Amino acid sequence: MKRLFRITRRKLRLRVRRQYLLGRAIRRRHRLHPIAVRTRRIRRGDILLFMSIRNEKVRLPYFLEYYRRMGVQHFLVVDNGSDDGGLEYLSEQMDVSVWLTHSSYKDSRFGMDWINWLLFRHGVGHWCLTVDPDEFLIYPHHDTRPLKALTDWLDASAIKSFSSMLLDMYPKGPLHARTYVEGEDPFQIASWFDPANYTIRKNGEYGNLWIQGGPRSRAFFHDNPAQGPALNKIPLVRWERSYVYVSSTHMLLPRSLNVVYDEDGGEKASGCLLHAKFLSTFAQKSAEELERRQHYSDSQEYMAYHSGLQDEQDFWCEESRRYEDWRQLEDLGLISKGNWA
């Protein structure tokens, strides 16, 4: 009886939380100013990509081409006051809709109010991919099957959300040793990753898995690994009007969307987001974000990055692995085919 009461109370609490977050996103929609909105081009069945950016122009050409090749038909982007030409570049892309805001990134729940509104307004009925401009989705067979093949299989399997662990990629040697050039494949430089060194636990409130570890934890948070960044992501969702992201793409409501793992000991299909944060651009970016203080926990993560980079931190170690393909990650248990043969 007590257990039933706890479950009922949790359901009510999460329903109220979901309604609050949706209402918050809707109320703040006026903070987004349309610059080049081409959403009338969106067709039924199109796969959409959502993101918020600031001063990421150097990454955009490769990022857009990567996801176009994968099968994304339209990009919906919030620009948070870029001054590097990125807004102008996006405005020229015919498969991109872009909105501008000068509002506080921190006050918008780190951009999620903006993204939740766009998902609510334009994402309903579509498979929606929500990522950062330094995150590149891979999944089993991604080298031979487009994203539409994956989403068709998810639809046929009545699966509404797809998880992808964030896998930090890094070069061998100091980050500044090779300059990243606009349009370049970042993984020609950042081609190494940690094959292990990860912890995983279940969030009892939201039901999602919480993953930490990797090079950032051992390099910047070795004295306090619990403060390291979360690596669990649920970036691909068949969106419905009642859905909402709670904390970045780490977890959603309704709670059932977070159960992207098999609770009976089997495996569900999952991917990885190759994370191209650690390039020659990172030192400048971390200094800018540290000065702005717009990130989670008063930018404590960026404070750790900036402090570590003063010593020209080299992430490479003897256990590092050079990235080969998704099959390598499957062998290491970082990605899974599940029932998708």
Tens-place pLDDT, residues 267-293: 899 999 999 999 988 877 777 766 665
Type of residue numbered 23: G
Residue 55: what pLDDT?
95
Residues 6+ apart with CB under 8 A from 194: 168, 213, 214, 215, 218, 319, 320, 321
Residue 113: what pLDDT?
97
Residue 310: what pLDDT?
52
Q: Are strands 192-193 and 48-53 parallel, antiparallel or unpaired?
A: unpaired
Q: What is the pLDDT of residues 281-334, one digit of tens each?
A: 887 777 776 666 554 544 455 566 665 555 567 899 999 999 999 999 999 999
Q: Is the pTM of this model over 0.85?
A: yes
Checking if the pLDDT of 3 tops 50, the result is yes
Q: Is the dihedral of CA 324, 328, 332, 336 positive or negative?
A: positive
Checking if the pLDDT of 221 tops 80, the result is yes
CA-nearest of 47, 327, 322 to 162 is 47
Domain ranges of the chain: 11-331
Residue 296: what pLDDT?
52
Q: What is the pLDDT of residues 67-105, one digit of tens each?
A: 999 999 999 999 999 999 999 999 999 999 999 999 999
Locate 228 and state its tokens. Answer: 């390291």
Q: What is the pLDDT of residues 201-219, one digit of tens each?
A: 999 999 999 999 999 999 8
Mean pLDDT, the chain, integer: 92
Residue 324: what pLDDT?
98
Checking if the pLDDT of 152 tops 70, the result is yes
Across the range 108-122, mean pLDDT stands at 97
Checking if the pLDDT of 5 tops 70, the result is no
**How many CB atoms lie under 10 A from the CB of residue 320?**
15
Residue 299: what pLDDT?
47
Phi-psi region of 312 (alpha: psi -120 to 50; beta: other; left: phi over 0): left
Locate 41 and state its tokens. Answer: 């081009």
Is the bond into 254 cis (omega within 30 degrees of 0)?
yes
